[in-house]
Chains A and B, each alone.
Chain A
Amino acid sequence: MSWQSEILSLLGFSYGVSATATAIAAAIAIPLGIFMGMREFKCKTIIINLTNSFMGFPPVVMGVIVYMLLSKAGPLGFLRLLYTPTAIIIAQCVLCIPIITGITISSITNHSKKIIETTLALGGSRSDVYENVFSENLVPILSGIMVGFGQNISEVGASMIVGGNISSFTQTMTTAIVTYTGQGRAGDALLTGLILIITTFLIMFTLTFLQMRARRS
């Protein structure tokens, strides 16, 4: 395989895995964040603190935990997912959930009271309330998704441990950089890093631009 096609396949795989993991995480974290942000319950502060603490959870440690769960001797070993793209998606998803949940909770907690009161006062139903809380907080929720995606695309530890860095199967851009460096291919490593930075920058720039337009228009 030529170096260009190798890079292209790495790019496609990395973005595919990270986007899938972020999408699954968002599907879990956004409803969870909205629910927790809108409700007042006893242990809310503790749960918010825990969620915020998990935002900074080291990916490599998460990798070890997911590895232990998916390894042959682990409780989910029978699924035979270790060293597969699915394993990387699971690890990145778990890393991403606290980030999106935390950002959603903080946005909803700050802004939801007036939205709830207004929607109910206008004669809205419970589902109208959830819909309005979601749509009125769309911009910060999108920020949460972007931060989560940024974390996933740039992390290396978890992908390396649970994916195994198998060339053309579970190798991502970041784990490939580690391999190239280990092989003494510093130029390739640097170039791959540059491509990763530029593509991520372009994606984030476009998303931010769309986000700003959504806010202004």
Chain B
Amino acid sequence: MLDTSFDEIRVEDLCFQYDKNPALKGVCMRAKKGRITAVIGPNGAGKTTLFKIIDLLMRANSGRIMVGDDDILMLNAVESRAWRQSIAFVLQEPYLFNMSIRQNLAVPLKMRKIEAIKINQIVQGAINRFGLAEIAEKKPFRLSSGERKRAGLARALVTEPGLLMLDEPTASIDPEASYMIEQYLKDLRAEGHTIILMSTHDLFQARRLADDVVLLFKGEMIEAGEKDSFFNGPKSDITKRFVNGEILLDKHREGCEAREKGSSSPASR
């Protein structure tokens, strides 16, 4: 049976392809308890795919994901669910069910068949901790994007996961909500019980928050290391260009050119 108390997760030579297009090409990385590991890279680098494979929402073509001595890619259906119950994955746009935020927070606890009284205590604790009292009885469609993200993060953390994965946790939300989420993550790191894995293409956020950084580019792991050495002494050219913002700038330029081409083509007139 899978050991759900773990200090480290190691991804080894992970490969995945959509149809015939490779999305991950032999990715290797590791993340440790009590540290924030930022997986950075431009859009399409494979960050979300990597997280979905770790959460066993997608099946890798090859490679290993080691937790202690167990390769989680070899787990059967029952063990896979046990793995998912021991971790948490917050999607970029967390889907909140059409019920109050209080009820949403109770969902993962009900799935674990926890007693109703205990559920109420845990949920109330999470509401207080994440400052959700004002929106606790509201339904998701009444909330702002930032409030939904905070509620999604709170829901993920009510089960006290050993591994927390966040896909672009502060994308498209206002600076205040972004600051609050960063503070929660810092507090969680300080508690030291959780491996925190987050994806971002915000280099400033990675510098502010991360202890370790992994750069993915076009499905390949380019460079990984501690934040200071990664940003101050990048080894590969791609990392240098990414850290300097050139790759993101190129991507932006490509996007603009594609849009301009589209708007000037006869078909679009």
| A interface residues, Cβ below 8 angstroms from B | 114-115, 117-118, 120-125, 128, 132, 135-136, 215-217
Contacts and interface: CB of A to CB of B under 8 A. Distances in A.
Contact of A124 (B52, B93, B111, B139): B111
A115 B107 CA distance: 13
B95 A115 contact: yes
A165 B152 CA distance: 58
A122 B81 CA distance: 9
Interface stretch (B20-28, B82-90, B179-187, B228-236): B82-90
A117 B57 contact: yes
**9 smallest A-B Cβ distances: which pairs?**
A123-B85, A118-B95, A122-B108, A114-B95, A121-B89, A124-B111, A123-B84, A123-B111, A121-B55
B35 interface: no
B97 A128 contact: no
Given A115-B95, A117-B57, A122-B111, 15 more contacts: A114-B93, A120-B57, A121-B84, A123-B81, A123-B84, A123-B108, A123-B111, A123-B112, A123-B159, A124-B108, A135-B97, A136-B97, A136-B98, A216-B139, A217-B139
17 contacts: A114-B95, A115-B97, A117-B91, A118-B95, A120-B55, A120-B57, A121-B55, A121-B88, A121-B89, A121-B91, A122-B84, A122-B88, A122-B156, A123-B108, A124-B108, A125-B81, A135-B97
Contact of A132 (B81, B97, B139, B155): B97
Nearest to A115: B95
Given A128-B111, A136-B97, A121 B159 contact: no
B94 interface: yes
Contacts of B97: 115, 118, 132, 135-136
A123 B85 CA distance: 4
Interface of B: 52, 55, 57, 81, 84-85, 88-89, 91, 93-95, 97-98, 107-108, 111-112, 139, 155-156, 159
Indicate the member of B55, B108, B112, B159 with the most A CB atoms within 10 Å: B108
Contacts of A114: 91, 93, 95
A148 B156 CA distance: 40
A52 B128 CA distance: 49
A112 to B, nearest CB: 11
A216 B55 CA distance: 33
Nearest to A138: B98
* B84, B91, B98, B112 interface centre (most CB from chain A within 10 Å): B98
Contacts of B89: 121
B111 A125 contact: yes
A182 to B, nearest CB: 50
B57 A121 contact: yes
Contacts of A136: 97-98
A118 B98 contact: no
A123 B106 CA distance: 12
A71 B67 CA distance: 67
Nearest to B98: A136
A207 B139 CA distance: 22
A139 B93 CA distance: 22
